Each structure stands twice: as C-alpha cells, then as structure tokens.
Structure 1
Amino acid sequence: MKKIGILGGVGWASTLDYYRGICAGSWQRQIKNGAKTHSGPLPCPRITIESVNQAETRSLRGRPGEEDSWAAFDAVFRNALLVLQTAGCDFAVIASNTPHARLHAIRQGVEMPVLSIFDATAQVVAKTKAASALVIGTRVTMQARNYAEVLAPYGIRANPTLPPAEIAEAQSMIDEDFHGGASATARTRLLRFCQKHASAGEAVILACTELPLAFPDHIDEPSFEAAGVLFINPSAAHVAAALDLAEKETEGQAPA
C-alpha cells in the first residue's frame, strides 16, 4: 500500500478521526475480502502526520477576494505538505475543509498528489440523487463557492451564500461546540441549524471535519440519515478516497 500523509491540527479531534478512519477502514476492507484467516494484526497503510497550529492558521486567514492576503496562510499548509513529501509520503490528505478553499495555491510547488475533499464529497452527493445541497462549515468554507463548482457538473445546486449573520452562527457553533470534539449540546445545535436552513429532501454537507463527530454511530458513513435529514460526511468520503488510492497498485508494481 502507498504511504499516506495526513496534514492535521485543524483541528486535532478530526485529525484523530482521520487516522482512526484510515486504519479501521483498511482492516474492515481486508476482513470483508476474507483476509482475516489468521491471528494477529492486519496490515495498515504507512502514515505520517504533520500537525499545524490551529491558533496560528486562524490568525492568518485572509480576506475573500484578496488573493495576496492569504499568502501567509497558504505558506503554513504548503510547508507542512513539503514535510510530508520529504517523509516519503506518496500522497496527502488535509484533514480539514477550510484550507481546501485555498488548495489551488497551497499545493503550488508540491509534487506529491493532494486528494481534494471537494471531489470526494461531490461523488457521494451525486449517488444520493439529491437535487440540491446545503453546505455548513466555517466562515471561509461557506463564503467560498468550491462545493457549488464541483457539484454543478452533476446537476446539483449548492446553497447560495447565506447572509453574514447565518455564516457567523455556523462559525460560532463550530467554535463553541466542536473544537476538541463534539460537545454534549453539539448535535442539538447542529440539527437546529439544519431545520432552520435546509429544504426538504436537500442533502446537508457537514463541511467542517469536526461536524460529523456529532453522529458517532455514522462516523464512517459518507452519507446517512439522522432526525429526518440526509447528511453527507466529507471526512468519511475523503478517507475512503485515500484508502482507494493507497490500495491502488503503482504501474509496474507487484501487489504487496
């Protein structure tokens, strides 16, 4: 299997979930394929984690539409990816939605592939047959149009940018109830936000990697229903895409 790099720390709780999801997912796939016929551990992909400081990256966020204002933010993530590349990772995933809005700039000068959470999520949404999607995430994610752009080729509409007060409400919810894992009130607050903004039959994209932690029973499911809402879990979709690539044989390489 290929070596995976995880760029984490934004935040640490979802970084743990990515590591767990990759390792557990690898085992589950092998067991499903009949590999567990002997005692002892099954192989997992080799993984290197480079964790950045979320307090620093938050302070370095730029301004919408002002490309130069993001230079310092981009540099932190680019340098972290270069560390993973130097560590021999065959490809990397960024265990956070927010920096993906800057992926076009962050991966400049990085030779190894960096899997997009947007592409992985769009494929899952398309399978649900939903006609539209509500994107819930940080201020950066909700102000950007990345999800709208990747969903459009599938004929799926993404919500227009919500009013500033509603975006601030989502950011506040993440800051107060999800940094460090889902709080006791996190699920209730999230469902209340969905009831307020999601239309009937609309897919709700949990576009902050901490948000799926409110649904531990569905943590490894790319799509699931809870409280009458169709949810999309980008973290699970991203992890599945990473496992697919890790298991894919390099041209000319024999299976491990």
Structure 2
Amino acid sequence: MKHVGILGHSWEGASLCWREVCQHSTRLGHPAHPDITMDCISFVHCMPAWDRSDYEAVRAVLTTSVARLEQAGCDFFVCPDNTAHLALETAGEPLAIPGLHLIDIVADAAQRAGHRRVGILGTRFTMQGPLYPRELAARGIESIIPTEDDQALVHAAIFDELVHGVFRDETRASFVDLIGRLANSGCDAVALVCTEIPLLLSPDESPLPVLDSTRLSGRAALEVALGTRELPSWRGGQFRR
C-alpha cells in the first residue's frame, strides 16, 4: 500500500480525514490501514495571511508541511481543507510530492450522483472563490452560494466555533434552516466544503443530499493507497484534469 500524507490545516477536520482513511481496518476486521503521516502547522500562522488575502504566504506554510510529508516517506498527500486549495493553486515551485485535488474529488462525486444545482457551504474564501464554480461548471453543474448574510453566518460559525471543536445545537439548527432555503431555491444537493461542517451536521439532518468533502477526501486517499485509484500528479498551481 502507498504511504498516505495528510496535509492538515485545521485539526478537527484533518482528524476526520485521518479516521476515514483508517476505516479500511474496520471494513476488513483487522488493523490493515495504510501507513499515514499527518503534518499540521498551527492555524495561527496562516490566519493573518488569510485575512489580507495573501495566498502566497499561506502557500509557503503549506509547502513546508508537504516537504515534511515527503521527508517522512509519503508517496502523495491529500489536503482535506477546501480553502487551502486557493493557496495551493497559487503559482510557485512544484510541491515536494503530488497531491489529490479536493475540489476535483467533490465535483466528480456530484457528477456521479447526477446533481445539477449544488449549494456551497464553506468559509467565505471558498464560497466566494473560483474553484467550485470552475470545477462544477466543467461538469455541467451549477454552483449556488448563499446570500451575504448567510455567508457571514457560516463563516463566523466556522472560525468562532467549528475549528475549535465547538458544535452547538443552535448552530446546527441554523445550518439546517439555511440548507432548507437552498433546497427551496432549486438546489438538489449541498456541498459541505469546510473540513469541520460534516462534524456539525450529519446527512440525516440535512434537508438536501450531502457532498461531504472531508470524508470524500479520506476515501479518495485510501483508494490511491490501495491502488484502486491512480496516483495523482498535481504538485500545486492551477489544477488541470
């Protein structure tokens, strides 16, 4: 099996990705998950750069993590953080090892499920960014982002609560209400594209079918490790299929 590298950016979501890769042991009934190494530099080093939209500075931090994964012997990496891909796509030297592209993984899952209009819930950077509109449109799928007020609600919940491991019933109810309004506007699925949202909201609680980017990233990494998915070739910069 290939050695999986997890490029963590916020610890709660990265831990969920780790657990998803390890589910292989549960399915087999014995401890047979791939070798896994995670590198997660404290989020505090990146938040000032995110706030000033300095993606190059964020990429420098992430590049350090990828280099450490390479030194640990990882064959490839997966980054379960959607927002981080805005920085990873910034031009720069090729990353030390190849990585899966999370937005590509989620868009493929939407296409396989036959979705046509997908609501996007993530950080403000992700919701307003170009990556999901680009990848979904390439597959004939429309991407819908919430109103500005709802974007502010989701963004604040992520950074004030979820990345700190705080999951409140009131916040869950507000997300259910928001997804219901996305359904009423014609969406046929919702993409939970902040690493921690799937820890707040289960598929059974969502008014729409869920695209869980964190678990999808872990499953894709496991497939690569097992040899049932091709080893990725992307090393940062704009993703091209």
Q: TM-score, normalising length from structure 2? A: 0.85
Q: Give 2:156's match in structure 1, choosing from 146, 163, 172.
A: 172
Aligned to 2:18: 19
CA deviation after TM superposition for structure 1 residue 145, in Å: 1.6
Q: Give 2:37's match in structure 1, choosing from 24, 43, 48.
A: 48
Q: Given the alignment of the two structures, is residue 245 of structure 1 paired with residue 224 of structure 2, yes or no?
A: yes
Q: Aligned AA for 1:148?
A: P
The separation in 2 between residues aligned to 1:98 and 1:153, in whole angstroms, is 20
Q: Aligned AA for 2:35?
A: R
Aligned to 1:71: 56
The separation in 2 between residues aligned to 1:84 and 1:143, in whole angstroms, is 30
CA deviation after TM superposition for structure 1 residue 201, in Å: 4.5
CA deviation after TM superposition for structure 1 residue 169, in Å: 1.9
The separation in 2 between residues aligned to 1:62 and 1:106, in whole angstroms, is 19
Aligned to 1:235: 214
SS at 1:135's partner residue?
strand
Task: Note the alpha carbon deviations across 1:213-255, whole angstroms, 9 max, x for none.
Answer: 023xx5xxxxx5544321110111111110111011899xxxx
Q: Gaps (5+ residues) in structure 1?
A: 219-223, 252-256
Aligned to 1:254: none
Q: Which runs of 4+ in 1 moved over 6 A?
A: none
Contact 1:74 1:106 in 2 (8 A): no
Q: TM-score, normalising length from structure 1? A: 0.80
SS at 2:138's partner residue?
helix
Larger mean CA deviation between 103-112 and 72-81 belongs to 103-112
The separation in 1 between residues aligned to 2:222 and 2:72, in whole angstroms, is 19
Aligned to 1:181: 165
- Give the aligned CA root-mean-square deviation in angstroms: 2.4
What is the total number of aligned residue pairs between the two structures?
A: 228
The separation in 1 between residues aligned to 2:65 and 2:31, in whole angstroms, is 29
Q: Give 1:207's match in structure 2, choosing from 165, 190, 193.
A: 193
Task: Note the alpha carbon deviations across 1:130-184, whole angstroms, 9 max, x for none.
Answer: 211111100110110201111112211111x555433222101212331233513
- Structure possessing the higher radius of gyration over alpha carbons: 1
Greater RCO structure (CA 8 Å; 6+ sep) = 2
> Cα 1:47–1:237, aligned 2, differ >3 Å: closer, same or farther?
same
> Cα 1:58–1:43, aligned 2, differ >3 Å: closer, same or farther?
same
CA deviation after TM superposition for structure 1 residue 90, in Å: 0.1
SS at 1:204's partner residue?
strand
Larger mean CA deviation between 54-63 and 44-53 belongs to 54-63
> Cα 1:227–1:97, aligned 2, differ >3 Å: closer, same or farther?
closer
Q: Aligned AA for 1:5?
A: G
Task: Note the alpha carbon deviations across 1:193-220, whole angstroms, 9 max, x for none.
Answer: 22234434521100101000023xx5xx
SS at 2:209's partner residue?
strand
Kindly, what percent of the aligned residue pairs are identical? Answer: 27
CA deviation after TM superposition for structure 1 residue 122, in Å: 0.8
Contact 1:5 1:92 in 2 (8 A): yes
SS at 1:60's partner residue?
helix
Q: Given the alignment of the two structures, is residue 135 of structure 1 paired with residue 120 of structure 2, yes or no?
A: yes
> Cα 1:237–1:12, aligned 2, differ >3 Å: closer, same or farther?
same
Q: Gaps (5+ residues) in structure 2?
A: 231-241
